[in-house]
Amino acid sequence: MGILIDRSTTILVQGITGREASFFTRESLDYGARVVAGVTPGKGGQEVYGIPVYDCVKNALGNHRIDASVVSVPPFAVRDAALEAIENGISLLVVMTERVPRRDVAALLHVARENGTRVIGPNSLGLISPGESKLGAVGGNVENTLRTFTQGPVGVMSRSGGMTSEFANLLGQEGLGQSTCVSIGGDPMIGSTFQDLFPLFEEDGQTRAVALFCEPGGIMEEEFARFYAARTDPKPVVAFIAGRFADQMPGTRFGHAAVIVEGDRGSTRKKRELMQKAGIRVADRLSDVPKMIKGLLNHGHVH
């Protein structure tokens, strides 16, 4: 079944008339995702690939049932767009925009928590449950998406959007399909961390193991390790931590805004140490991940 979305999930695209949003709307429709409406203030009455465009979320909800929204608007407009979706009762929000002011992210996440809305991102490519549906731009066009993502027992969570597809592709080459793959977002402050999403994979009957793509910087992996260690008989997790060279260059930022290492805090060495101590398998090379997961599945380390 996967987590968060399935083929019945109805989707709103906020910013649908923008170039990027119209691209991924087309790709989502081609994949079979149920994009039912779009919102761009001032563009109400238009259509994008046959999808009706509304001036505001409330108007869209007047005509459609909407389960999830994808926000693809300029950074300064994200806070208002997200709050509009949250305050109108949309329960799942994927924020694709990067470089959203941190104060705005804090504000929207606070309101989301109060309203019980789950936020993925900012700076997320989205998520996909292969064969079911996808939210956002993950996977790209339909040919790529079908080639890269296959149905199966492995949940994927990645701090890198691009590596979400790379991970799925590697797993697929070894005959390991995926339940749901989530690009959680590369910004320092995001709505759903590894720790937030792991219980959903635990509850999912299709998921038998989880693969994590980790990066230097921040303390998400350390927090997840402590959380995992405290769980009773959790599903097996294999992690790959990119950028080990970053440990030799403290105070330098690499790639995402969240990838900054200060002394030992956020170092790949510390992440690795804590994860292994918690019982999480840590792969030396990306290509080792599928073999390690296969080993765990074949040896019955599953529920």
pLDDT at 267: 82
Q: Could you say which of 64, 256, 299, 303 is catalytic?
A: 256
What stretches of the chain show up as alpha helix (H) in DSSP?
19-31, 57-63, 75-87, 102-115, 142-148, 161-173, 194-203, 220-229, 268-277, 288-298
Interatomic CA distance for residues 138 and 144, integer angstroms: 10
pLDDT of residue 246: 47
Give dist(CA 17, CA 33) in Å, integer.
18
pLDDT at 299: 76
303 part of a folded domain: no
- Contact of 66 with 37, CB cutoff 8 Å: yes
Q: Which residues contact 198 (CB under 8 A, 6 or more apart)?
A: 157, 210, 224, 227, 228, 234, 237
For residues 115 and 139, is the Cβ–Cβ distance under 8 A?
A: no
Q: What is the DSSP code (8-state) at residue 235? A: P
- Successive 10-residue mean pLDDT values, the chain, 303 residues: 95 98 98 98 98 98 98 98 98 97 98 98 98 98 97 98 96 97 95 98 98 93 97 97 63 52 72 96 96 90 48
Contact at 8 Å (CB) between 216 and 261? yes
* pLDDT for the residue numbered 303: 44
- Residue 102 resides in a domain: yes
Burial of 264: CB neighbours in 10 Å, binned 0-12, 13-18, 19+: exposed
Residue 141, phi then psi, degrees to nearest 5: -70, 170
Specify if 2 maps to a domain: no
| Structural domains of the chain, count | 1
Cα→Cα distances 6→9, 78, 131, 207, Å: 6, 25, 9, 14
Tell me the CATH number at 242: 3.40.50.261
Amino acid 1: pLDDT: 78
Residue 16 near residue 25 (C-beta atoms within 8 A): yes
Q: CA angle, 139 as apex, 137 and 141 as ends, to 5°?
A: 85
Q: Which domain holds residue 252?
A: 10-298
pTM over 0.75: yes
Specify the pLDDT at position 252: 52
Q: Is residue 213 included in any domain, yes or no?
A: yes
**For position 181, what pLDDT does the model report?**
98
- Rounded distance between C-alpha atoms, residue 284 and residue 300, angstroms: 23
What is residue 297's predicted lDDT score, i.e. its pLDDT?
94
Residue 5 resides in a domain: no
How much helix, strand and coil, in percent to the nearest 5, is found in the chain? 35, 20, 40
Q: Is residue 3 part of a domain?
A: no
Contact yes or no for 14/73 (Cβ under 8 A): yes
SS3 132: coil
Tell whether 1 is covered by a domain: no
* Residue 69 covered by a domain: yes
Cα distance from N-terminal residue to C-terminal residue, the chain: 16
Classified as helix, coil or strand, 187 is coil
Q: What is the pLDDT of residue 243?
A: 77
- Measured CA to CA, the distance from residue 77 to residue 85 in angstroms comes to 13
Whether 256 is catalytic is yes
Neighbours of 97 (CB within 10 A): 22
d(CA 178, CA 21) in angstroms, rounded, equals 25
For residue 268, the model assigns a pLDDT of 87
